[in-house]
Structures are given as C-alpha cells and as structure tokens.
A and B are shown apart, each in its own frame.
Chain A
Amino acid sequence: MIRTILTVCRKEILETARDRRTLFSLLLGPLLGPLLFVTIINVAVSRNLSGLDQPLDLPIVGAERAPNLIAFLNARGLHPAVSDVKDVDDAAAAVGRGTLDVAVVIDERYEKDFGTEHAARVTVIYDRSRSSAQSKIQRVHGTLEAYGQQIGALRLVANGVSPSLLRPLLVDDLDVSTPAGRSVLMLGVLTYFLLFATLTGGLHLAIDTTAGERERRSLEPLLTLPVTRASLLLGKMAATVCYMLVSLALTLAAFTVALKRVPLEQLGMSSSFDAATALATFGILCPFAPLGAALMTTVASFTKTYREAQTYLTFILLIPTLPLMFAALLNVEAELKLMWIPSLSQHLLITALIKAQPLNWAFVGISAASSLVLGVLLGWLAIRLYEREAILG
C-alpha cells in the first residue's frame, strides 16, 4: 500500500511539473501576492507621508491682507503660490476641475475684522473625496487652526486671563500598542494570502485526480490495476499536499524578502517578519494543507469535467477565508475555543507570531489536531466517493 501511494505520488508530482501552464500559475501566484501586497503598502505609506516636511505651494487669495498669517504659514513650509484664482468661486471651480488640490481665500474684511470681536474669515477650499489631497488638506487646516489658537492665547494673556481657562479638559493620548502590534493591522491580510496560496497550489492536482483523469479517459484503466482505490487516492492527495506546501513555502519566502522593502518603520511599525517567523508560520499552516487537499478533492469528485470542477473550487477557495473576515470584523483575540476552527486558528496564531507574542503551545497543538482530524474525515469521505461507480461519470 505504501509503495503504491509513493508510486502514485511520485508520478503525479512529475506529471504536474511537466505541465508548463500549471507550473507557471503555481509560481506566479506566490510571487504576485507579495508583490501586490508590498506595492499597495508602499503607495499607502508614500501617500500618508508625502511631503509632511516638504514645502508646499499654496495658492492664497488676498495674502497681502494678512502678512502675519502668511509669515506664520511660511515658517511652517506653506508658501503662498502665484495663481490666477481671484475669489472663493474661482477657487472652488479650480478645485472642482482638479487643477488645484487645496486653496485658501483670505476674506476682504480680514484686516477690518482681525483684532475686533468679529472673527476674521479664512476659507479653505478642497475636495474631500480626493484621497491624494487628504494629507495637504489636513496640513493646511491644522496650520491655520494653530495660528488661530496662538493669537487667541496671546490676547487672553494680554487681558490678564490664563489661556487654560478656555481648556477645562486636558486630553492626553497614551497609545500603548507596540510598533509590532500596530503592523498587525497591515499584516492581517498576510494570512489570507498564505491560505489562498496554499489552496491554489493544490488546485490543479485536486481536480486532475478525478475530473481530469476522467476527462482524459485515463481513470478507467487506472482502476483496473491490482491496487485499492484508497491507495490511489491517498497517493494523489499526498502529491496535492506536496504542491500546496511548495506554493506556501514560495509565498512565505517571497513575503520575507518583500517585507524588507516596505518602510513599515516610517508608519511607526516594526516588522518582525524574519526567516524564523516565516519558518514558524510554515509549521503552523502545514496541518491546514491536508485539510485543504481533502476538501478540494472531495468537491472535485462530484464534477464531470475539469472546467466544471474549476468553477466549483473557486467558490471553495473562499470558504477558509470566511472565518478571517469574521475575525477582522469582530476583532477577535486568540482563545482556546477558536483554536478548534481551522483557518481561523492558523490566522490567530500567525497574528500572534507577527506581534512577537510568545506562542501558546496548547493552542498550536489544538489548531494542528483539529485541522488534521477534519482533514482525515474529509479524506475518508473523498475515498468513499472515489469508490463509487459514479466516479466513472
């Protein structure tokens, strides 16, 4: 039996390795995921950080009416820019067209109102739906706000009143999340990619085992050989698991390399995703592979053709991601009872790993055991289905 399983496994591995298209998609998936991930993070980081300290040219209408304000803005890197904008309507039109991200209009009555009990009006024109302008808008807003507070405080002092009278509540922010903890928000998607890569790695073989062999008419002669169908199927599932683990390993390697290129530190995060973490992640996800292989093989055995199986399995690929969405929405923490749920347990353990928290070995054990037990049950079901006469189609 063992010899049969090994023979079948070896042949399936060889045959799949010879199929260039399958191999290509097998390699592409693991490389594309991390690449996409890193690109998105890099864009997000550079958006958020773009020009926080760099000078910003700001179109200001009526700059001559407020020399002190302009000096204040200048000192903070906001330089009045020359523009043909004449008033608020002009500016609104220009922002609407997209030629300007943000503009400031100093009211005609600014000089008259400034220093009286009337508040002097300054209008900021922007388009909040434009995400690329967010950091500029916030910066202009914040700087104007700061100027107003500074002037207000000076006036109170001049009248012999303490400025703190206006601030009865002092709100202090104390964020105790570690840099590694903060990076979890970003790396939360990581497990999704890893589970996905694991499953797609075995997709072709899981389909080929039943629907593919049937379509090529090679299933029937195979079943006339003096070996049990169980050993044939186990050999095929073993090969499927091999490819799933290869796909997982490639994805992890790609992530380990790619995450070094992400300026997580600039976002106040530290990425502890080194080779050791990658290895531990691999270990945690290993028990998930037989489960995924058995699940995909079981589903594929109901289908008539390769194409039909592909359609069904695309939906199956979403099943393990459902607990992850649930986890993300409810912000669940690792606890004992959740370790019985495959894919969610792996997700929570990997999250803990990335947070650089100590591993709870009981959790790891339960996570592995529950995945393997469910994998064995599904494997048994797949064998029973393989022994039906209907498997011939």
Chain B
Amino acid sequence: MIDVQNVSKRFGAVRALDGVTFAAGDGRITGLLGPNGAGKSTCLRILSTVIKPDGGRVRVGDTDLAAAPLVARRLLGVLPHGSGLYPQLTARENVEYYGRLHGLPEPLLKQRAEALIARLDLGAIADRKAKGFSQGEKTKVALARALVHEPQHLLLDEPTSGLDVMATRHLREWLRELRAQGRCVLLSSHVMQEVEALVDDLVIIAGGRVTLSGTPAELAQRYPGRSLEEIFVAAVSGAEHATT
C-alpha cells in the first residue's frame, strides 16, 4: 500500500501541496481527483520519487520513500502523462530497456516482455518503431513498460486522456485485472465520469489539499441525493473559496 502523511511541497512562492494525507490500499484502485493545477501531478511526482517533498512522509509498502528511494522505485510502476516512449525504439525494445534498467536478468526480461506483449495485444506492433503509434498503442506499451518488473504498486497520471472509447475500456479491464492480483493502483484524473465506474476509493484534491475522500458509496451516503459529479464540484469549489 501507499501511505501519504502530511506531505507539502512549494515551488518558489507557489504552495503546490499543503499537508496532503491519504492512503491507497492493496487490491484496490484509488482515484486521485482534482481540477487542473490542484496538485495531482506534483503528488504523483513525489510518489514516484522524481521530486522530494518539503515536509511529510510517504511509505510505499514497508519502505520509507525518503530513506530508501532506490528500493521504493523497485516497488513502483509508473505510467507517465503522455507515455514518454522512445520513438526510435520498437515497442519491445522500449519495454526491455526498462526491464534492463530494473536489473532483470536477460532471459527473464525477454520472457516478461513477451508475456506483456501477448497480454496487452501488442503482437502486431511489437517490433515496430514507437514513433508511428496511436495514443492508445502508446499507452499500452507504456503500461507494459511500467509492469515489466511486476511492481506491487502502479501510479498512472491521467491514463485515459487522449484515449478513444475502446482503448479506455481496455485500460479499465487491465486495471481491474491488476487489482484482482492484489496490486495497489493509484491513478489521477480531472474528470469524474472517467473514473467513477473504476475506482474503489476517491481522494479529491484541490488547492494542494485533500478536501474529500472515501469510497463512492460512503460519499453518496454522506451527501444523499447528489451525484458523484456534484459532490466533486462542491468539494473542488469549496477549496477554491477557501484559498481565495
């Protein structure tokens, strides 16, 4: 599981995160929701150890992020916003490159790449250069790349943006499959409809703070008669009033 305790981060005069606390459990899909600029990406960047928080503590499984970032990275798979594939490498090479940097032995890494290519239906494009891929294909390859070291935790930054209906459906399927394997999946989004059917837990973040969290059922119970969309809007605009 991922445990975030009172995490803060400033960029110059901008307070991007202000005491964020939440947890994402194993075998669950947790949605980090918020409007653009709410601090979702900063939060995911801290979780993926690319940047360091100014204050607070993050644990990934049993590992403290600040104390052992290299160990924590082995436990994390990251699907960045916009895939970030190498255009001159083939789908397979992109996946294998990350496996190699994760220190997987060569036979195991070939075998894993092959299995992921089969599972994600990438057979037809596996040996084509990534530069011609559609957004859906890129996301698939990036997902395969993030899973090559079989991480317990998966971080996805706006995974559905730019995907068409079918690709979005497939992505949901795979995320449910990862959940069924007992993995901890944390994804960010700024559109409630995209995730409300998928997530087990919701963390709504606005103005650098967690304004609301809980399961969809809990939230519906707490605000009877209001849709998740309406609850989201209220949670977000409340924070905006608070900051202004």
Contacts and interface: CB of A to CB of B under 8 A. Distances in A.
Interface string A1-27: 001100110010011101100000000
Given A15-B89, A18-B88, A216-B87, A221 B78 contact: yes
Contact of A11 (B49, B81, B89, B129): B89
Interface of A, secondary structure class, is: helix
A220 B45 contact: yes
A228 B70 contact: yes
A226 interface: yes
B86 interface: yes
A389 B101 contact: no
B168 to A, nearest CB: 20
Contacts of A4: 101
B48 interface: yes
Given A18-B129, A225-B101, A218 B50 contact: no
A224 B49 contact: yes
Interface in B56-104: 70-71, 73-74, 76, 78-89, 93, 97-98, 100-103
B79 to A, nearest CB: 8
B84 A220 contact: yes
Interface in A217-249: 217-228
B176 interface: no
A15 B50 contact: no
Contacts of B85: 218
Contact of A7 (B48, B100, B142): B100
Interface residues of A, number: 25
Contacts of B88: 14-16, 18-19
Nearest to B71: A226
Size band of the interface chain B makes with A: 20 to 34
Interface string A353-388: 000000000000000000000000000000000000
Contacts, number: 77
A218 B82 CA distance: 9
A285 to B, nearest CB: 29
Contact of A389 (B51, B87, B89): B51
Contact of B50 (A7, A217, A223, A227): A223
B103 to A, nearest CB: 7
A262 B83 CA distance: 54
A18 B89 CA distance: 8
Contacts of A7: 97, 100-101
A391 B89 CA distance: 23
Contacts of B89: 11, 14-15, 18
B110 interface: no
B104 to A, nearest CB: 11
Contacts of A41: none
A226 B73 contact: yes
B73 A224 contact: yes
B159 to A, nearest CB: 13
B128 interface: no
A228 B69 CA distance: 10
B84 A219 contact: yes
Contacts of A16: 88
B52 interface: yes
Contacts of B50: 220, 223-224, 389, 392
Contacts of B82: 217
Contacts of A226: 70-71, 73-74, 101-103
A2 to B, nearest CB: 12
Closest CB pairs A-B (n = 4) = A218-B84, A226-B73, A18-B88, A217-B84
22 contacts: A7-B97, A8-B101, A14-B88, A15-B86, A18-B88, A18-B129, A216-B84, A216-B87, A217-B83, A218-B85, A218-B86, A220-B45, A220-B50, A221-B84, A221-B142, A222-B84, A224-B48, A224-B50, A226-B101, A227-B101, A392-B50, A392-B51
